[in-house]
Structure 1
């Protein structure tokens, strides 16, 4: 049995299994063995903590995949662990953002290191020098990595003059955009999730995590209760959350009624038995109207059916993202 090391910081990056998930995993390992390899870096587990614990507890053998030469330092390992979770687990956008935010410190450190070592960036035919530590964001204020507002001050060195300057021109790393890229979300979403994690009561975080409310609604509630005392904050959060539940229940009820109506119409159409003979009888015994009027009415009905068909085709294209 391999004796592997556990780095608690690495382990804490991975969302814990629910009791039910862990029980199912243990049953599977006991029945079929450990089918997935434990992945390590320098003999430290970076993927497979739960499998390792279950295997060692039950004396079940397992294979190890080493990635000793894939990473230069702990920070690269952390990024890999988080990205690996995105690929393997069905987690919400909120959870993806929370995981990515755990890399904020290392990315901010990288930004500082770039400034201190004079990292360079080449964009087309220009070198751009930015203010120390400044970060740009489309929807949040320009701040440096310490949260201090930046003055707008960019100096551009043209292609003709760039050789007159030191080519080691420092450039900033936009922390929020880097985190957003890792999580696969907008940097505005990262900004909102960070605010929720810092300031919202646990009940709001859980609701956002489980997709009970949207990130935007969770953020709005967080802003609304921000200046309240802790006890009052929690009480107000629950009140606002209940309002959201009621609104969502009403919306679901409306959607159900619409769905029921559509289903009834479709069912009614499907059970119709109309053939050429019945159409002939209809034309013969219906109120006397010119044939052209019947044809016009049929054309209008066909047009409405085509419109309904397009609605259903668009519904089929919708991908539900949790």
Structure 2
């Protein structure tokens, strides 16, 4: 049997970590290859790691043909849906996969719409557009990835503006998606420097970026020179309220920072 490996297809999904690969290798050595490798013709679609381990150790395996594929886009969509259903996939990975799915589906819809518009007479254009499939919304993509719409937006920002080192840190769980999105707004060299500084430095930089986004609060206007006693009293109370409000906001920030740190510490266990 001839099995062809497409390197782009192999790299389409994030590779297993060393620990995950070792665990899969132990499983195959003890239990054999129970799941069939998925092929499209002679092209290997699913099972690259199993195929590599089986080849190395001489472990027998079975294959199955997927007859539904008509194009490489079909292959990519199948791979995305297959991995989105796995519990071991992180929120960041699911977000990236869901965004890839949105790109493919949106491109298909645009192409199909263009073909219909060119084939239909001018008078039928409106009817064709009204009957077209809706483009995937951000909310629908977020549901596919099982994350919030806000988190999906952060993942999209990381995908577009984050340095490779920062992306690797997110994938490794060194920094949260929320914090990474904040750091990703910095120039590339500052992102790389923050990653080099380790987890503590990344958290501090992310906190500084968030705090820099908060607009300064206006100072209360001073009382007029001929202010009455009541006006002076109101001014003092206004200053006191502003001070208490500032202290409250600082406490809220500390609680938020501690909550993020606790979530990241639990995620690293």
Question: Which TM-score band applies after superposition, normalised by the shorter structure?
Answer: 0.5 to 0.7
> Which of structures 1 and 2 has the bigger CA Rg?
1
Please show how residues 213-292 of structure 1 align to structure 2 within 5 Å.
213-223=175-185, 225=186, 228=187, 230-236=188-194, 238=197, 241-243=202-204, 251=258
Normalised to the residue count of structure 1, the TM-score between the two structures is: 0.54
CA distance in 2, matches of 1:75, 1:178: 20
SS state of the match for residue 102, structure 1?
helix
Residue pair 2:179, 2:206 contacting (<8 A) in 1 also: no
CA distance in 2, matches of 1:100, 1:211: 19
**1:98 corresponds to which residue?**
96
Cα deviation code 1:14-64 (max 9, x no counterpart): 221122222232232223221221122223222111111111222221111
Distance 1:221 1:41, change over 3 A: same
CA distance in 2, matches of 1:205, 1:118: 40
How many residue pairs align between the two structures? 207
Give the deviation of 1:113 after TM superposition. 0.9
**1:61 corresponds to which residue?**
60
Structure 2's unaligned 5+ residue stretches are: 118-122, 208-253
Cα deviation code 1:258-283 (max 9, x no counterpart): xxxxxxxxxxxxxxxxxxxxxxxxxx
CA distance in 1, matches of 2:17, 2:32: 21
1:197 paired with 2:152, answer no
**2:15 corresponds to which residue?**
16
Give the deviation of 1:167 after TM superposition. 2.9
SS state of the match for residue 152, structure 2?
helix
Please show how residues 1-322 of structure 1 align to structure 2 within 5 Å.
2-68=1-67, 70-118=68-116, 167-169=127-129, 171=132, 173-174=135-136, 176=138, 179-223=141-185, 225=186, 228=187, 230-236=188-194, 238=197, 241-243=202-204, 251=258
More helix by share: 2
- RMSD over equivalenced CA pairs, Å: 3.6
Cα deviation code 1:93-132 (max 9, x no counterpart): 111112233345423321321330238xxxxxxxxxxxxx
CA distance in 2, matches of 1:47, 1:58: 19
Distance 1:5 1:176, change over 3 A: farther
Distance 1:176 1:12, change over 3 A: farther
Structure 1's unaligned 5+ residue stretches are: 120-162, 256-319
CA distance in 2, matches of 1:245, 1:192: 13
